[in-house]
Structure 1
Amino acid sequence: MGKGAGTGLEPEGTTLVGLLRRAARHPDAGLRILNRGGDERWLPWPVVHERARRVAGGLRKLAVRRGDRVALVFPTCPGFFDTFFGVLLAGATPVPIYPPVRLGRLPEYEQRTARMFSSAGVRLVLADPRVRRLLGEAVALARPPLGCLTPADVEAESWDGENVSPGEIALIQFSSGTTREPRGVALSHRAVVAQAETLNAFWPDTPEVTHSGVSWLPLYHDMGLIGCVFPALERPGTLTLLPPEVFVASPATWLRAISTCRATISPAPNFAYSHCLRRVTDEEMEGVDLSSWRVALNVAECVEPEVARAVQRRFAAWGFRPEALTPVYGLSEASLAVTFSDPARPFVSRRFDRSRLAVGAGAVRESPQGREIVSVGCPIPGVGLRIVGTDGRPLPAAHTGEVECRGPSIMDGYVGDTAATYEALRDGWLRTGDLGFLFEGELYLTGRAKDTLLLRGRNYAPEEVEQAVGSVEGVRPGAAVAVSWLPEGAEGERLLVLVEARRDVHAADFDRIARECEARILAATGLSPDHVAVLPAGSLPRTSSGKIRRQAALAQHLTGTLGPPAPVTRLRLAAAVLRSAVAFLWARVRR
């Protein structure tokens, strides 16, 4: 399709709207969506485009204006794509928001979601019909002018849509909120299209290989949307999607989908690979062939070298390539990827002297007994990377400092927060808040600046303490927190370690788990915790992407509010739905 009415002010390959119209000429590619029951829904790109045109027509009838923000609250389902692309065609800005997944913490979700609606300036909320039943309180608190509707409420006669330019905002992506409240990250069409093009350049099609992907990552998450959907749209290619809850309940489903679809690309965070090691049985792998999986991106979390090696060993019998496991680094504010490991080689890790990893400790040096850190590779094409000290000045190679980056995919800023934007963006450089160093041209991360442990005048990485307790019998994998704080009147900082026990562990074993955790931490790091608290499963606060919020965990521990969510019963669920319905009614009366 060339230029013309509704085709955009710029060439079609420079905006998401243009990419969608281009993809609509490729009926052999599209989205394959698997539901909880294993049924498949095939949506070729022409169908995705037409369904979005109907939503765009409905939004125009609702008087949704150019530049309006529309929140989308959906699980992994066709409705997300109908509304996401429909909002874009209407000239508005989609704001993906995570649906309520921890029903035992629904009041917390309602408050947090209302704040995101308000901070993004949302004018309309579109939601899956099942999800909408639980959104009444959040909508009543935020009071979006056009309320909360479902896709069926807004579908109308198809409309080609508005003209869109590359500099306009393509979406508002909320950061995970690991160390602070989630912030709305404004990403332009130019930024996200540049990211999709760069990612696809890492895996070009050849006469022998046509690339396709499988993902179970949430669509409200930057890796699920920007890292999986947008590259498939840009190619255009085929992407198979599984709901995250399907993966959590049965991780073998993910591996079988890769095998069945002969997918070549599939990303996941470190905990997902660990989850597969624990939960996938040899019987479930019968008939599975992972030899097509060429790029197994390891994203979004600290890469644990022992987990990575175990994945290589365990799944080699089913054709998994050792070089497929590819550690990468990125963040929402950079439209995702900043560095990439070489997909053609096995991952690289090195051991570094712990005493030289802190900011200001001089040049790092390798040590056989040091902390093992996995390289996350080199900057992707077009991205500049530097390490700066506490004074903001660039540091030489092999010195730990804050990671800063710049390039074509950097955010425009935080929505409605000029001060935070100014703090994050200085002379075109993005301050990531992550600590690391460059060694032989590759980036090694040591942790988050705000999460660093300060003990006896030295800095330590909480990840090393947390990884030390991961192998203790009875500890829930990926559910440990190490934090330091200075009690009132104390002479020095205290080290607190919070770990969740597995659901099948009896409370009588908690003391034994705490003692073993203390011993493992001392052996691995030389640190002796002041207190190890063993908690019931589900107690630690998490972000929408599943990352543990360390500082929130500390605050809740100190105030005595840290604990598991309330059990979800039919009565509680019915009460929540009723409360939501009343809130919707009250919001309608107030309008």
Structure 2
Amino acid sequence: MTIDHTLGAAFLKAAEHEGLGVTFWSGLGRHQKFTYGELATQAARVAGTLVSLGLQPGDRVGLVLPTGPDFYHGFFGAVLAGAVPCAMYPPVRLGRIDEWKERTAQMMREARVQIVLSDRRLLPLVSVPGQRAGVPHGVQTVDWCRRSEEVYRCSEGPEVLAAVQFSSGSTGRPKPVALTHNNMIRNCQAIMSTFPGDPSNHSGVSWLPLYHDMGLIGCLLTAIMAKGPLTLINPERFIARPVGWLEALTESRATISVAPNFAFGLCAERIGDEDLEGLDLSSWTVALCGAEPVHPKTLDRFCARFGPVGFQSSALTPVYGLAEATLGVTFAPIEVERRIIHVDPASLEEDGQAQLAEEGLPLSSLGRPLAGTEVEIRDPSGACVPEAQVGQVWVRGDGVMAGYLDQPEETTAVLQDDWLDTGDRGFVLAGDLFLCGRAKDVIILRGRNYDPSVIEQGLDGVEGLRTGCWAAVSLPVETGDTEALYLLAESHNSEDEGLIQICREAVQEHSGLTVAGVLILAPGTLPRTSSGKIRRSEARRRLLQGLLLPPKKMTALGIATEFAKGWMARWLPRAAS
């Protein structure tokens, strides 16, 4: 590898291609397009300001930014200054603003950021965790940083720290994952090698947040390295109007787009017949599905709904990855029908064996390891288990992180001889990986292990529930000598007694398990990670402590108060000095 194989070099090389760049899609016919050359010029000015402030190579730069050109300016501004960008999620739910402030301050402290870049709209809110974390150069806008002469001071080589991305925190707090240029470049190359034909002939559409590994690496960086056009949609715009994603695919004639399982379910559920008019998804040949458990029924509903407007079922490609492995670990074959197996749930739960059964539980293959990656399934002692035996998923390869930033004990707990303990449970059958959930989320009932994501599949398609907004947990019974299964699910109609019975029957029919209770919750009650995954263990903890409460309703006065707190946190220290 040469010095060209760094993020800065890849970005500047893409900037040499006239006309190549990114379109920020509004859905209103007022799209903004920026070439990589234009983005690079502004990023170099941000780099100039960072250097003028005294930032040294390797210093960390926090980013709390929405999808937009400022994210490119801030991210690559840090890269071109020789610094290390650390993307963090912006506040998206004001009803949980206090929780966001605390988690963000913790991330800033753990990354030891020297400065945080945001925008004018978010500045008052981001200033609060910035002050709590004691960020040396405070929180500044990207616009303020675009004031200097251009600077191009790229990192010295591929093994240098390139970026810090935070793990999802689905079973605990988000951890700062330290990635080198080699990790990120090689993982992007491995992902691109799965695309049919020349990667530059493909174009992408994404609504995924750019602070998330799948949005940042799988979309933004991969598009730069592939030198193909990319269209980006604000995530909040997608949630509010899912059909916008498909309209952008239709309009741009894109070939690649990626999303979690819930997004495919949301589209199948909320896009009406009138919205199908004008859609043409025939160009979409690579539809990657990952970042959370892949439910075959969800993808089947998506295919049935959008097949009439040109979507090909062979386009759906389940994938597996995690932040600690940069992003991608395994991919199912591209442009090939999904491999679905049916296994006997009793054998899976009692013996940890994936025994095929015609009427059994459907599981989707997540494919085989990417180039430069190995996967092993191990038992608790660390020994490899035979095919079809459930165990811990371990990964080794080019994308595996250098470690958790400045956390040697946390690193040692998951990295052994270059092998990463993913914390996921699964098995390999005929060379393909199948997942059975997170080890820390396992539900134990009467001595048997159950994967909550498998139980939750029974809720998929239940009318009245918010798509993907549910959790299966175990709670102690009154005698205290065992636990029972409970379902937590969000709905806009929390008073519907009939919905409780429907949920109970759906899960019992799907899994054969007795459901002790169903709690219908207000929207936004279940705790989530920055990428939207349900934090089951945290939901259980809050429920037991009486803290599983809906987000507080934010009035106009409440919103104004939060912004006022931010401005006070930003300006009072200056006035005192």
Say yes or no: TM over 0.5: yes
Correspondence 1:220-369 to 2 at 5 A: 220-358=211-349, 361=351, 363-369=353-359
1:97-136 superposed matches below 5 A: 97-136=88-127
Deviation, 1:160, is 2.0
2:561 is aligned with 1:571? no
User: Hey, what's the Cα distance between the residues in 2 that align with 1:159 and 1:405?
Assistant: 38
Whether the 8 Å contact between 1:357 and 1:446 is mirrored in structure 2 is no
Q: SS state of the match for residue 202, structure 1?
A: coil
The AA in structure 2 aligned to 1:98 is: Y
Q: Separation in 1 of the partners of 2:49 and 2:25? A: 27
Equivalent of 2:468 in 474, 478, 489: 478
The structure 2 residue matched to 1:184, chosen from 176, 197, 204, is 176
Mapped to 1, the partners of 2:435 and 2:155 lie a distance apart of 42
Check whether the contact 2:8–2:154 (CA below 8 A) recurs between aligned residues: no
Q: Does 1:199 align with 2:202?
A: no
Partners of 1:140 and 1:587 within 8 A in 2: no
CA distance in 2, matches of 1:345, 1:590: 65
> Which one of the candidate residues 552, 558, 576 is aligned to 2:544?
558
Whether 1:528 aligns to 2:514 is yes
Question: Given residue 196 of structure 1, which amino acid in structure 2 is its aligned partner?
Answer: C
Residue-pair matches, total: 576
**CA offset at residue 586 of structure 1?**
3.8
Counterpart of 1:284, as a letter, is D
Quote the Cα distance in structure 2 between the aligned partners of 1:100 and 1:461. 31
Q: Cα distance 1:526–1:32, how it changes in 2: closer, same or farther (>3 A)?
A: same
Alignment match of 2:411 (pick from 391, 404, 421):
421
The one of 513, 536, 544 equivalent to 2:499 is 513
* TM-score, length of structure 2 as denominator length: 0.97
Match of 1:537 in 2: 523
- For residues 516-565 of structure 1, the C-alpha deviation after alignment (integer angstroms, 9 at most, x for no partner) is 22222222212112221111121111111011000111111111111211
Q: TM-score, normalised by structure 1?
A: 0.95
Q: Which segment is superposed worse, 168-177 or 555-564?
A: 555-564
Deviation at 1:590, TM superposition (A): 7.3
CA contact (8 A) 2:59 2:83 kept: yes
CA shift at 1:246, angstroms? Answer: 0.9
Deviations 1:358-386 (A, max 9, x none): 4x825421012321111101111111110
Percent identical residues = 41
Aligned partner of 2:392 in structure 1 is 402
Cα offset for 1:393? 0.8
Is the alpha carbon distance of 1:193 and 1:93 closer, same or farther for their aligned partners in structure 2, counting shifts above 3 Å? same
2:447 to 440, 457, 469: 457
Contact 1:540 1:562 in 2 (8 A): yes
Alignment partner, residue 494 of structure 1: 484
SS at match of 1:339: strand
Which secondary structure does the structure 1 equivalent of 2:90 belong to? coil
Matches of 1:10 and 1:549, distance apart in 2? 41
CA distance in 2, matches of 1:330, 1:196: 13
Q: Which residue of 1 aligns with 2:164?
A: 172
With over 3 angstroms needed to count, the CA separation of the structure-2 counterparts of 1:333 and 1:421, relative to structure 1, is same
Closer, same or farther in 2 for the Cα pair 1:587/1:117, shift >3 Å? farther
> 1:163 deviation in Å?
4.2
**Aligned 8 A contact 2:60 2:84 in 1:** yes
Report the Cα offset of residue 514 of structure 1: 1.7
Distance in 2 between residues matched to 1:257 and 1:276, nearest whole Å = 14
The residue identity in structure 1 corresponding to 2:299 is: A
Partners of 1:488 and 1:160 lie apart in 2 by 65
The alignment's C-alpha RMSD in Å is: 1.7
Asked if the contact 1:470–1:476 (Cα under 8 Å) also holds between the matched residues in 2, the reply is no
* Alignment-derived partner of residue 160 in structure 1: 152
Q: How does 1:576-591 map to 2 (within 5 A)?
A: 576-588=562-574
- 2:37 and 2:185 mapped to 1: Cα distance? 20
Letter in 1 for 2:510: A
How far is the alpha carbon of 1:83 from its aligned partner? 0.8
Structure 1 residue 582 displacement after superposition: 1.1
User: Which SS does the other structure have where 2:564 is aligned?
Assistant: helix
From the superposition, tell whether residues 393 and 318 of structure 1 become closer, same or farther in structure 2 (CA, over 3 Å): same
* Residues in 1 aligned to 2:57 and 2:388: alpha-carbon distance in whole angstroms: 48
How far off is 1:176 after superposition?
A: 0.8
State whether residues 69 and 123 of structure 1, in contact with CA within 8 Å, keep that contact through their aligned partners in structure 2.
Answer: yes
Match of 1:411? 401
8 Å Cα contact 2:127-2:138 kept in structure 1: no
Equivalents in 2 of 1:165, 1:487: separation in Å?
57
Which consecutive residues of structure 2, in runs of 5 or more, have no partner in the other structure? none
What is the CA distance between 1:256 and its match in structure 2?
1.0
**How many angstroms apart in 1 are the aligned matches of 2:575 and 2:478?**
49
1:385 is the counterpart of 2:375: yes
Distance 1:393 1:222 in 2: 30
Quote how far apart the aligned CAs of 1:137 are: 1.9
**Residue 22 (str. 1) matches residue 9 (str. 2):** no
- What SS is found at the alignment partner of 2:61? strand
Provide the C-alpha distance between the structure 2 equivalents of 1:275 and 1:112, rounded to a whole number of angstroms: 28
- Tell me if the contact between 1:36 and 1:243 (Cα under 8 Å) persists in the aligned partners: no
Q: CA deviation at 1:241?
A: 0.3
